[in-house]
Amino acid sequence: MKHISDCAVLNNGVKMPWLGLGVYQAAEGDEVEQAVIAAIMAGYRSVDNAPIYGNEEGVGRALKKCGVPREQLFITTKVWNSDQGYHSTMAAFDESRKKLGLDVIDLYLIHWAVKGMYKETWRALEKLYRDGKVRAIGVSNFQIHHLQDLMADSEIIPAVNQVEFHPCLTQTELHQFCKDNNIQMEAWSPLMQGKLLVHPLLMELSGIYGKSPAQIILRWDLQKGVVAIPKSVTKQRIESNANIFDFELSVQDIARLDALNRNERVGADPDNFNF
């Protein structure tokens, strides 16, 4: 992990960049377009999106304008909870593809494990994968029991599990399960919505390494073998978040960051959500 172009290799051989741009809460229109273009200009090649974010069309416009060949980009989107089920997932996928202006989606995820629905939804994802409409399929916010339940009845093992992951929520058992089953873990909200940036340990490490607290956390993600997708709409911050490939945290400092874990979430509980 020495360069922003470095990639994790998924369980089907597809390469996924270790760092991507998250566009949650980026407003449709100029804001999301400028964020995506700024990221691509800074060397990012991965953008993480979802229909519920309401900005797929803006991302699509940015991809057309950016000047980077499509085959060099890695685009993720997801199926939202209200669209789960086989036929509705197929329709939702077509809608996302149309809004993004893409023939093929690189990674398509089930956004949340909706009880009684995610297995049928997964069958739709398997069909999309077999038909060559997606290059990889995966899940988001799945706990171990969700993954076990899904894998017991499916032909394809998820390539990715995108979950909330940061030093205060290291999800050690889930991370190990994903490693054991060759499922790439990916971190949403890696900076804990900014709450970690003023933690004394992050401030201390920032001084030691000459890097910002955000850069320390994102480097920690990568050295833990977790893909990171920090969200930002600020050009300077987008560029700063990418400046994490020229240093390495010591084993001791990774352990100190690991020790911050207190199973604290800033997002919803995957076993208890109502949306």
Q: Where are the alpha helices (DSSP H) in 162-231?
A: 172-180, 200-209, 213-223
Which residues are identified as catalytic? Answer: 53
The dihedral through the CA atoms of 201, 205, 207, 210 has a sign that is negative
- Encode 260-271: b = buried (16+ Cβ within 10 Å), e = exposed: beeeeeeeeebe
Distance CA 191, CA 95 (A): 31
- To the question of whether residue 111 is assigned a binding role by annotation, the answer is yes
- Encode 151-189: b = buried (16+ Cβ within 10 Å), e = exposed: eeeeebebbbbbbbbbbbbbbeebbebbeeeebbbbbbb
3 state DSSP class of 136:
strand
Residues belonging to the binding site for substrate are 111
Residues belonging to the binding site are 111
